Chains A and B, each alone.
Chain A
Amino acid sequence: MFDWMNILWGLFYILVFPGALFTCCVGLFLAGIDRKVIAHMQKRIGPPIVQPTYDFFKLMGKETIVPARANKLVFLGAPILGFVSLALIMLFVPIFGFTAFSGDADLIVILYLITISGVALIAGGSASGSPYAGIGISREMVTMMSYELPFVLVLLAVAKKVGGASLVFSMDAVAAWQAENTCMAFQWSMIPAAIAFLLIIPAEVGMQPFDVAEAETEICEGPLIEYSGAALGVFKLNTAMKMCIMTGLFTSLFFGGIRTGYIWLDAIVFVAISAVVTLICITTVHAVTARLKIEHLFKFFWTIVSGLAGVSLVLVWLGL
């Protein structure tokens, strides 16, 4: 027998609260804060905080051109694939005490879903048939390879820390462990992993020092060059959603122990911490750095960032 109540709640989770709508709204809010604060750092007034929302709705109202050389199905399907995979991630990230869907291997599911959104960008870019997009997708692939290694190492360190003797890949267990003990960020053996994760966030979102794939001034936003109208709008929304997801993932991995008991208050604290993380690792880094070359990015992530994550992993393995 179907349990209709459960299905309705499931739909509500997917479409509204931790799923699509919540992720979009928080993502656009974080993107707005990012643009406003960076404007203030450069002594400008800057756009209003709702500017990314205006951008999104404007793009929804524009004509969507499909180039003659493009594969129409993949070209228009890729942004939707990315959107769906990103909308699902937030269901597995606990907002302190609350998780929509929980299982034994949430962390691995999250890892794969984030990768799907990157693959969607690559698929869309390659379907557009533009040489600039070709350069963009090759760089995007290298960027993905660079940050996946330290990302997995960080997740392994967290899983080992929570599991003790064995690895535990459940986000719920991570949240529960932090509620019992202290936040992961206050464990000194986890601090290198936290720093590594903070450096992974801008690469994942595609922000300034690590935006080689979408270098606006160099290869005209790479994979997105042929996109216009609603399809471009969805890709821009995907970037904003990634911002929400990555900072949210940081919050629940390293500051997951804060529980007030009220879900709405939890959500507000969650968004507030995410905003602070955005300011630290996206805005400030964006303001003070210039774009790296692709080989420097690769080297940086496989040596320094992976090194930091590895130090944490070794410390945790030694039982510290």
Chain B
Amino acid sequence: MFNKLIDKSAAKSPWLYHINTGSCNGCDIELVACLTPRYDAERFGFKLAGSPRHADIVVVSGPITSQSKDRLVRTLAQVPEPKCVVSIGSCPQSGNVFKGSWSVEAPLENYVHVDVAVAGCTPKPEAIMEGLYKAALILQKKREAMHK
């Protein structure tokens, strides 16, 4: 009876959990800028959650250093289904300027399925918002697939 409402709600209230895997803080600042009054991501229901257990969308920034790889994989495993993974910036996609470094294990795709990748160094808040919104729609599709 409530399945339709739950599916609709899945897209309307995506809670974010942010993992910094050795990012230079540029993307992190731009993500936080999305939540400020100027861009106000809360009007789509986005909210920063403190615990991965509360999250729907996991936002990953940074080139995945060797130190943070293990933590990243463990944190992602703690997020309840349905979940989405969004990578922000060029670093998680390719390693960006850090590519080839002995301490960077860059493409995020090696460890988890990435639903939306926002490229740029750093991407604009508008681009991040668009990526997050697309991830919210993917969440709804995943939720629909769960009970079919």
Binding site for B on A (CB under 8 A): 35, 39, 42-47, 51, 53-58, 60-65, 216-217, 219-221, 224-229, 232
Contact = CB atoms under 8 A, between A and B. Distances in A.
Contact of B6 (A43, A61, A64, A217): A61
22 contacts: A39-B43, A46-B40, A46-B42, A46-B43, A47-B43, A47-B45, A54-B8, A55-B45, A57-B8, A62-B80, A63-B82, A65-B53, A65-B78, A216-B50, A220-B50, A221-B51, A221-B54, A224-B51, A224-B54, A225-B53, A226-B51, A228-B80
A195 B146 CA distance: 50
Given A47-B42, A63-B80, A226-B53, 7 more contacts: A44-B43, A55-B13, A57-B5, A60-B2, A61-B146, A64-B80, A227-B54
A178 to B, nearest CB: 39
Given A228-B80, A229-B80, A54 B54 contact: no
Contacts of B9: 53-58, 61
A287 to B, nearest CB: 13
A225 B50 contact: yes
Interface in B134-148: 143, 146
A54 B44 CA distance: 11
A266 B2 CA distance: 31
A61 B78 contact: no
Interface string B1-33: 010011111101100000000000000000000
Contacts of A216: 50
B6 A58 contact: yes
Given A54-B12, A54-B13, A225-B53, A63 B43 contact: no
A53 to B, nearest CB: 8
Contacts of A221: 50-51, 54
A61 B143 contact: yes
A65 B82 CA distance: 12
Most buried by B among A53, A62, A220, A232: A62
A228 B40 contact: no
Contacts of B12: 51, 54, 58
Nearest to A55: B13
Nearest to A52: B13
Given A58-B13, A221-B50, A44 B42 contact: yes
Nearest to A214: B50
A226 B52 CA distance: 9
Contacts of A39: 40, 42-43
Given A42-B37, A44-B43, A65-B78, A57 B2 contact: yes
A265 to B, nearest CB: 30
Given A47-B42, A221-B50, A226-B53, A62 B81 contact: yes
A62 B2 contact: no
B56 interface: yes
A54 to B, nearest CB: 4
A228 B54 CA distance: 6
A35 B43 CA distance: 10
A217 B13 contact: no
A60 B3 CA distance: 10
Nearest to B50: A220
Nearest to A231: B53
Nearest to A50: B12
A45 B46 CA distance: 13
Nearest to B43: A45
Residue among B6, B40, B50 with max Cβ neighbours from chain A (10 Å): B50
A228 B45 contact: no
Nearest to B78: A65
A228 to B, nearest CB: 4
B100 to A, nearest CB: 36
Q: Which of A46, A58, A227 has the most CB of B within 10 A?
A: A58
A232 B80 CA distance: 12
Contacts of A43: 37
Given A61-B143, A228-B53, A51 B13 contact: yes
